[in-house]
Structure 1
Amino acid sequence: MKTNLLLIIAFLIFLGCNGKHDQQESLPKHGLLWKITGNGIQSASFLFGTFHEQGGISVLDSIQSFDSIFISTDQFICEMDLRKAVKLLTEKKDSKSNSYLKPWPNTDSTYVNLLTDEQKSILDSAINKDESLRIIREWNLRPVQAVSFIKYQSQKNAKDNKFPSKDNSDNDSVRTIILDIYLQQQAYKYNMDIEELDSMEEYQKLNDSINSRLPIMSYKSEVEFMIYYIQNYQEIDSLQKEYTNKLLTLYLQQDLGLLRQQQKEVNRHNNMIMSFLGNGNFIEIQEKMLIDERNNFWMKKIPNLIKNNSSFIAVGAGHLGGENGLINQLRNLNYSVVSVKKLRNN
């Protein structure tokens, strides 16, 4: 009897593991453009994964019939209307985005008081090499602002990368245009209705919620991070380009699985302050809130948006794959979600 019971338990464990394996195997791994049908919707809609930086627009050349599919839909659904996003950045001056920072002293002697002699020497050396960095002291930029300024100057001085463009246009504004912007411009061009998955208020609420989880930084930690960045910014900048280029390569290959893994590397690099402080837990929380929780929130809207309107949904490619990705969640609601590439091959 005992032997039989053990066999039953072992069999149930095997079924459970096998079910998880089958579920993982069924998760989408490749493709950026997906056709959505079934579950009572009147006409097909499409889900497309975008790339939020330069270079992604060239993927359109590898997707046959992309333009005809795009204009066949009546409604464009995006993360946020970019015209409103610009307004959010320029007008939201009361944002809590720096709520993890202490008020910065406004005295002229701030750096004199906070930096050790060795740190002052490192800052002086950096300013002597690049006169533009004098602004750090002249404007009394707090250390995290100084890091942003150094990063900006580094990017400004670097040569502009040129990327292949849709339709091989010679126009620089098209050659370097970000894919999300291009798609919204096309939606305006064809007079499509535009719906956003995040309103300004909803996105700001999410951003404030994420930042509320940041630990309060001491002035000492800020200064140490600034000095670390000054000493290593060329290596950090090179690593940033390496990570971004890998991400772009995987995007152009339409590899959803590896794309999300690489995005995690980029996120960790972009959160250098938290990595410097050894707070990897915050980075994991941020990723979960920006991807999984937003996916769950969007899925409360998408079924109603596509029910009666043929829609083209364009969101970051990182939102498509995985167990909590939009493709899997739509399938769990009994929609048929099939890669357009796979449909063509059939």
Structure 2
Amino acid sequence: MKPIVVCFFAIIMLSCKAQQQPIQLPVNKDDNTLLWQISGKNITTPSYLFGTFHILCKDDILLSNHLKTALQNSATVYFEMDLDDPANTMGGIFFMNMKDGKKLTDFYTPTEYEKLSNFFKDSLKISLTSLQKMKPMMLEAMLFPKMMPCKTTSGVELVLMDMAKKANKEIKGFETIAFQSAMFDSIPYAEQAKSLLKDIDSLNNYKTMLNNMITVYKNQSVGALMKIMNDTSSNNVLANNDAFLKNRNINWVKQLQQILPKENIFMAVGAAHLFGEDGLIALLKKEGYTVTPLLNK
């Protein structure tokens, strides 16, 4: 931080900030990277876009020096949701349940429910008795640790948030927990319940698909990652990608058009949001921004 005698008045502080030279990170030779620079249009200092994976084996979360430099040189760190806000983190418990008093038993036959209950008891050591009102897609998320090839998992966002806190960065988000909960409510609970049961019946297949996705993510093989993501038949969420991807990307770009001229940011969101014709990279370019692949190794 510059001495207060130099930047005493607000207008002088703005002038000092404007004189900072933007860092120059090496450009990647192709689009196979998860780290991108946003510049051009009305941006004075570049911002950064990074594609995350929401759950990985803890030992697999390796962040490049270039990524760390980009975060360190950004004024604010943005996630899909403000992970530092107790209203979002603790409030998530409130939004896990289905609306209108619906229960799991409303969507399964006795035989199906018994299969579900036995799976959670035997494989996850969890009783469904206290989870009767939980949205099936929330229960579906509990399966991911079971499919991981390790015992200790973490989230890329959590590691980045820890870095941001240590660097005294302000943390913000594009959405609230209430908004994200509404997305899950937009998919009929009966459809969610069917998807959950299908996951349990095909757990080994989903485990293979998840491990393949993790491998191509770690290798930053964008084409292979997109191929997996486009296999909508294997994932209920992606089958509803207008709600979970396209519409959110459009909304985020609208917000970014207000944010980017004012401050440079480090934006970390799920990698699925970056690529494709409705991805953030394509939408930002459509709005006149320059989005450049950066070396991330």
Q: Same fold (TM over 0.5)?
A: yes
Contact 1:133 1:150 in 2 (8 A): no
Cα distance in 2 between the residues matched to 1:302 and 1:340:
20
| SS of equivalent residue, structure 1 residue 302 | helix
- Report the alpha carbon displacement of residue 288 of structure 1 after superposing the two structures with TM: 1.8
Q: CA RMSD in A?
A: 4.3
Whichever of the two has the greater Rg, that structure is: 1
Contact 2:57 2:149 in 1 (8 A): no
For this pair of structures, how many residues does the alignment match?
261
> Which residue of 206, 209, 214 corresponds with 1:243?
209
TM-score (norm 1): 0.61
Structure 1: unaligned runs, 5 residues or longer? 1-27, 106-110, 163-171, 272-281
Cα distance in 1 between the residues matched to 2:253 and 2:137:
37
State the AA in 1 paired with 2:73.
S
Q: Tell me, yes or no, if structure 1 residue 201 matches structure 2 residue 178.
A: yes
Closer, same or farther: CA 104–90 of 1 in aligned 2, 3 Å = same
Closer, same or farther: CA 77–215 of 1 in aligned 2, 3 Å = closer
Q: Tell me, yes or no, if structure 1 residue 177 matches structure 2 residue 154.
A: yes
State the AA in 1 paired with 2:203.
D
Contact 1:56 1:251 in 2 (8 A): no
Contact 1:29 1:321 in 2 (8 A): no
- Report the alpha carbon displacement of residue 243 of structure 1 after superposing the two structures with TM: 1.0
Cα distance in 1 between the residues matched to 2:137 and 2:258:
44
Paired residue for 1:16? none
Cα distance in 2 between the residues matched to 1:60 and 1:194:
21
Q: Tell me, yes or no, if structure 1 residue 294 matches structure 2 residue 248.
A: yes
Paired residue for 2:23? none
TM-score (norm 2): 0.69
Paired residue for 2:19? none
Which structure 2 residues correspond to residues 141-156 of structure 1 after superposition, within 5 A? none
> Which residue of 87, 90, 105 corresponds with 2:93?
90
Paired residue for 1:73? 74
Paired residue for 2:32? 30
Q: Percent identity?
A: 23
Paired residue for 2:15? none
State the AA in 2 paired with 1:289.
A
Closer, same or farther: CA 69–135 of 1 in aligned 2, 3 Å = closer
Paired residue for 2:220? 254
- Report the alpha carbon displacement of residue 325 of structure 1 after superposing the two structures with TM: 1.0
Encode CA deviations 1:216-262: one digit per residue, 9 max, x unaligned. Answer: 57xxxx7x999x76xx94x6222222111111111112122321331
> Which residue of 146, 150, 154 corresponds with 1:161?
150
- Report the alpha carbon displacement of residue 45 of structure 1 after superposing the two structures with TM: 0.7
| SS of equivalent residue, structure 2 residue 183 | helix
Contact 2:77 2:266 in 1 (8 A): yes
Closer, same or farther: CA 134–341 of 1 in aligned 2, 3 Å = closer
Cα distance in 1 between the residues matched to 2:81 and 2:67:
22
More helix by share: 1
Cα distance in 2 between the residues matched to 1:70 and 1:243:
31
Paired residue for 2:45? 43
Paired residue for 2:21? none
Contact 2:80 2:174 in 1 (8 A): yes
Cα distance in 2 between the residues matched to 1:58 and 1:49:
15
Contact 2:33 2:221 in 1 (8 A): yes
Paired residue for 1:20? none
Cα distance in 1 between the residues matched to 2:47 and 2:182:
29
State the AA in 1 paired with 2:70.
I
Contact 1:256 1:317 in 2 (8 A): no
- Report the alpha carbon displacement of residue 341 of structure 1 after superposing the two structures with TM: 2.1
Structure 2: unaligned runs, 5 residues or longer? 1-29
Cα distance in 1 between the residues matched to 2:289 and 2:136:
49
State the AA in 2 paired with 1:181.
L
| SS of equivalent residue, structure 2 residue 206 | helix
State the AA in 2 paired with 1:335.
Y
State the AA in 1 paired with 2:202.
I
Cα distance in 2 between the residues matched to 1:225 and 1:38:
43
